Amino acid sequence: MIQVFSDSFSQFSIGPFPYDPKHSAIGEYHYWPVQGFKGGWHDPIVYYGWLGPSWIVTEDEGRKFMEQTRPQVAITDHWPLMVAGDTSWRDYRFTASVRPLSTASHVGIVFRYTHGRRYYFLGFEGGQLRLLKRDQEDIVELAAVPFPCDCDRHYVLGIDCIGDSLRASVDGKPVLEMRDGSYLGGKVGLSARMPAQFTDVSVEMNKAAHAAWIKQRDGAAIDLAAERALYPQPRLWKTIDLKNFGSGRQIRFGHLTRGDTMHIVLAQHQKRGYKDAYAHISCLTAIDLDGKVLWQRGEPSNEPDHAIVSCDMPLQLYDIDGDGADEVIVARDFKLMILDGATGAVRRSIPTPLSTAADSSLWSLPHKKHAFDRVNVDAIRIANFRGLPEPRDILIKDRYSRLWAYDDQLNLLWHFHEGITGHFPYTADVNGDGRDETFVGYHLVDANGKLLWTLPVPTDHTDEILIGRWNPEVRAQQIGIASGDEGFMIASLEGEILKKHMIGHVQRISVGNYRPDLPGLEISVTTYWGYQGIIYLFDCKGELLDAFEPTSNGHLITPVNWSGDGHDLRLLNGNVKDGGLVDGHGRVVVQFPDDGHPELCAEVIDLTGDARDEIVLWDTQRMYIYTQDRPATVAEVSQPLKYPHYNASNYRGEFHYPADGGLPAGQPRK
């Protein structure tokens, strides 16, 4: 046998396995890695309600253990996991020494692991040795035999998986055997729903299996190198010093002066009251793409807490008066304002609405009491409720209960208060009358602010929303929803749920031509809370195509028009190792250079004007902008319809729709 992996955790110092002690929504759209030595292991299960680490390294008589610390009552329905290895591993023997510190629930090993919701489990529970198969919410017992265990000794659990043959052993003695070919390859891991200790992990392959794996691995590397050669490489185009006005992912792009020149407005903030519930803009800085400051409102700060926030800021850049230059529409200091884009001067201002609703009718209210007389605006969206030739209306929301719509003179059009709004509403003319409807929370609201219908969804809220047409067989538009713990849904414009996948806490959603060989457009979603960082791809009908689990957070999955040939890639994040652009098969086909660039934030936008996208990477101090290292190789560069820059949000779904309104028929990529 050839050993391909082993660990007795001797290289670890005693203490917690690296974790995020302030786990928050920051990692939903920032690259926010935990720091510390991981030794090739990954903890994919993270939850905001857990205090302290799930896993710690302990020692006894010179022997070290990876110890799961949480009892089942604390983790509810989650299965803590510690994972290592490679998804390309196929046939192997996996053994680990396991000591249950409590026998009240399961403890054991996982194998042929694809992601945190798809694997086999072998372990002790209820006086039995159980072999389970997990696929999302479905956990199926494949086999079980009586096997009482106690908390005072270590057991060597072993599994030999060769093809569809699964043979389990305890302390080297065969215990059960069966066949199941559902999963034929994957990583290995440790799992326990009560405190338990693990050590002496070993993965071995016989000579034939090892040779087959090496051949497959090397062949895949050659194929990946060939695929990467088809794409332009990132070339550094500009760097910008953000001095003391830098921000996290709270920046906006627009044309603040007449012409095609692009500008950036960066928002810093201060937190009021409870955490991020009442964050308000403390400073706005407008710059050009060379970093020259056009104007500034407020006092900039080097305080990191003024740059990083786990919510949107109420800020958009849009030509609200049709004069050819974008204005700055912003809520600051309990005022809704329209600022001159070129100077920052106030053109128009009104107070934000008084908060007259009963506190009991407001969702996620800290301490169950609204803190201010006036509304602290959470987000702004530009819409067209009056049926004008161009959008001229302003939609504002609080966090997370109410909407107010205003015209371009800041006159109130309507107010809506029904249930929970979620993060960022979606507006579109879905009935063809020239006026926008609003999908907010699980409600469709007409152009006058009247409720039309509500989806029958019992819990949680909408994290991101898309409305569009992606299936060539369906003429009508549909609604794609990243619905948190309610999973991923596709609904009709009549309020019928057409597809629903319970695949973890779905956080982000995007649509693009990720698989040009397939008809229509594909839908990608990613998870965050709980089973974190799984990236899924669905076809135009909402059927699962692929899923993989990078070992980091901050995956934006934004579609990228990188080559200009109509084949979209997805942006993960800006990290050299964990980030890059992935294709429709989950392969990182474009990597960022190891040039010391910032990695905290990323955005996709065409800044050079050739229709292909640039990638903007920044942190609170620096900004790097990357473009392609070569001209487009196609005669006519694809120009997909994209989410307009004037409706920026950290909680918007992203899309690339064909500019001609048609959908691709599907053909092999040349």
Write b or e for each residue in 16-38: b if 16 or more Cβ atoms lie within 10 A of its Cβ, otherwise e.
ebbbbeebebbbbbbbbbbeeeb
Strands 506-512 and 654-657: parallel
CA 448, CA 207: separation in Å to the nearest integer? 71
**Maximum CA extent, the chain:** 80
Is-contact 526 508, C-beta < 8 A? Answer: yes
User: Within 10 Å of residue 669's Cβ, how many Cβ atoms?
Assistant: 12
pLDDT digits (tens, 9 = 90+) for 564-599: 999 999 999 999 999 999 999 999 999 999 999 999
Q: Identify the three-state secondary structure at position 83.
A: strand
Q: What is the pLDDT of residue 296?
A: 98
Report residue 392's pLDDT band, with 50, 70 and 90 as the boundaries.
very high
Q: pLDDT by residue (tens digit) across 17-75?
A: 999 887 888 999 999 999 999 999 999 998 877 888 999 999 999 999 999 999 988 88
SS3 content of the chain, % helix, strand, coil (to 5): 5, 40, 50
Following DSSP, what letter does each residue of 496-546 receive, concatenated? Answer: -EEEEE--S-EEEEEEE-S-TTSSS-EEEEEE-SEETT-EEEE-TTS-EEE
What Å distances lie between residue 384 and 336, 393, 395, 438, 469, CA to CA? Answer: 18, 6, 10, 10, 20
Q: Which helix (H) or strand (E) holds 98?
A: strand 92-100
> Which percentage of the chain shows pLDDT scores above 70?
100
Tell me the whole-structure pTM to 2 decimals. Answer: 0.96
Element (H, E) at 28: helix 26-29
Residue with token string 């994957």: 186
Query: Cα separation of 659 and 274, whole Å?
Result: 44
Mean pLDDT of the chain: 95
Q: How far apart, in whole angstroms, are the C-alpha atoms of residue 579 and residue 532?
A: 16
Q: What is the pLDDT of residue 21?
A: 83
| Residue type present at position 533 | G
Q: What is the pLDDT of residue 669?
A: 59
Assess whether pLDDT exceeds 90 at residue 260. Answer: no
**Mean pLDDT in residue range 410-417:** 98
pLDDT for res 233: 96
Write the pLDDT tens digit of every residue in 157-175: 999 999 999 999 999 999 9
Q: What is the mean pLDDT of residues 514-529?
A: 97
Q: Tell me the two tokens of residue 17.
A: 């396995």
Q: What is the pLDDT of residues 194-251, one digit of tens each?
A: 999 999 999 999 999 999 999 999 999 999 999 999 999 999 999 999 999 999 999 9
What is the 8-class DSSP label of residue 208? Answer: H
Say if residue 476's pLDDT is above 90: yes
Residues 511 and 466: beta-carbon distance below 8 Å: yes
Q: Which range, of 18-32, 184-198, 538-552, averages the lowest pLDDT? A: 18-32
User: What are phi and psi for residue 367, nearest 5 degrees?
Assistant: 60, 15
**Single-letter code of the amino acid located at 566:** G
DSSP labels, 535-583: EEEE-TTS-EEEEE--SSS----EEE--SSSS--EEE--S-TTT-SEE-
| pLDDT tier for residue 542 given thresholds of 50, 70 and 90 | very high
155-162 and 614-618 beta bridge pairing: unpaired
Give me the pLDDT at residue 670, please. 54
- Percentage of the chain beyond pLDDT 90 is 92
